[in-house]
């Protein structure tokens, strides 16, 4: 059995890509997209016609509306390949606007429903700012499920659990990147591999907390840099993985053992924790890594959204 098939025994495997032509060979349950992945995909020759068709069908619409139609078009194509859910992201430029995020999410869901897609097959991705988490709480009450992304801290995870969001995406690789860069020449790669990886440790802490306290929010590790990080989180609810790393898993027959267990978490002595807005913001302020990476991630997604805007203008 290859590692990918072995991993699927313990964890729901999700494809992290906008290039839906790559997905079928890995047979994932779900798929995730983001502005950067869609920008990358839409510039490929294989998707030029999809871009042209979307523009032709929505002549006269605002750029932000055309962008959402494009995202939904990719999502609909992905849903013809996978049995589960697709994650589609709200414009990152709305990350600090609860009202606008709710409105944009409702519009995206409406676009999916107009294409005959049940809203249960869509997760709306929202940056895990305080404002984004409040928007997700409102959407969940409306039956619109959410995926809180750019999640780097335990505080973000606790607030998401309190808000009853469907799923969170803690970013393993970007946490790893920050600690490695911070350590500089003192970084010991071998000593920080596998279960000792700071990104892996962050997800493990969140997973154990949720399972210990019966929090229904699903944990989906994301943003992986290597196969070792993925294997170290075997047993997590879901893992979203790039096609490149999925291919590496598929090509290897190295053993895979379950690393996380809800049963084991239930026996752990972990205190309950709840955060209001002041304590959330203070916790984020105290966590330099989380503050840095959240701001950096929003800036990067905003930059790619602007590039996508420009591409739509030119096309």
Indicate which residues carry an active-site annotation: 125
Q: Which of 22, 38, 79, 115 is nearest to 312 (CA)?
A: 38
Phi, psi dihedral angles at 147 (to 5 degrees): -125, 110
Would you state the torsion angle of the CA atoms of residues 228, 233, 235, 236, taken in this order, to the nearest 10 degrees?
A: -140
According to the model, what pLDDT value does residue 227 have? 98
**C-alpha R_g of the chain:** 19
Q: Which domains does the chain have, with CATH numbers?
A: 3-314 (3.20.20.70)
Distance CA(304)–CA(307), nearest Å, equals 5
Q: Which two tokens stand for residue 153?
A: 């801290």
Tens-place pLDDT, residues 212-267: 999 999 999 999 999 999 999 999 999 999 999 999 999 999 999 999 999 999 99
Distances (CA, A) of 6 to 32, 151, 229, 256: 21, 27, 15, 6
The residues that bridge with 149 in the sheet, in sequence order, are 127
- The set of long-range contacts for 184-188, using a CB threshold of 8 Å and a minimum separation of 24, is none
Q: Report the DSSP pairing between strands 30-32 and 86-89.
A: parallel
Exposed (0-12), middle (13-18) or buried (19+): which is 45, by Cβ within 10 Å? exposed
According to the model, what pLDDT value does residue 203 have? 98
At a CB cut-off of 8 Å and minimum separation 6, what does 189 contact? none
Count Cβ atoms below 10 Å from residue 300 Cβ, excluding itself.
15
- Residues lower than pLDDT 70 in the chain: none
């Amino acid at each position: 059995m290859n590692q990918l098939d072995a991993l699927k025994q313990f964890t729901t495997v999700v494809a992290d890509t906008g290039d839906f032509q790559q997905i079928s060979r890995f047979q994932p349950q779900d798929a995730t997209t983001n502005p950067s992945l869609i920008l990358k995909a839409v510039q490929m020759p294989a998707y030029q016609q999809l871009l042209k068709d979307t523009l032709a069908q929505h002549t006269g619409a605002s750029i932000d509306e055309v962008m959402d139609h494009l995202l939904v078009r990719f999502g609909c194509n992905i849903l013809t390949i996978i049995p589960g859910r697709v994650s589609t992201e709200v414009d990152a430029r709305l990350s600090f606007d609860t009202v606008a995020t709710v409105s944009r999410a409702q519009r995206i869901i409406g676009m999916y429903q107009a294409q005959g897609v049940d809203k249960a097959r869509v997760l709306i991705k929202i940056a895990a700012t305080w404002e984004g988490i409040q928007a997700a709480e409102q959407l969940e009450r409306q039956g619109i499920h959410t995926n809180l992304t750019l999640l780097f801290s335990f505080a973000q995870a606790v607030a998401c659990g309190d808000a009853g969001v469907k799923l969170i995406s803690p970013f393993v690789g970007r946490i790893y990147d920050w600690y490695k860069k911070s350590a500089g020449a003192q970084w010991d790669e071998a000593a920080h591999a596998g279960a000792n990886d700071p990104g892996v440790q962050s997800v493990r802490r969140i997973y154990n907390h949720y399972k210990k306290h019966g929090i229904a929010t699903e944990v989906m590790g994301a943003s992986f840099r290597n196969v070792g990080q993925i294997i170290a989180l075997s047993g997590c609810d879901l893992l979203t993985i790039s096609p490149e790393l999925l291919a590496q898993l598929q090509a290897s027959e190295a053993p895979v053992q379950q690393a996380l267990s809800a049963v084991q978490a239930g026996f752990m002595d972990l205190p309950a924790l709840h955060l209001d807005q002041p304590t959330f913001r203070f916790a984020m302020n105290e966590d330099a890594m989380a503050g840095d990476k959240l701001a950096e991630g929003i800036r990067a997604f905003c930059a790619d959204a602007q590039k996508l805007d420009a591409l739509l203008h030119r096309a």
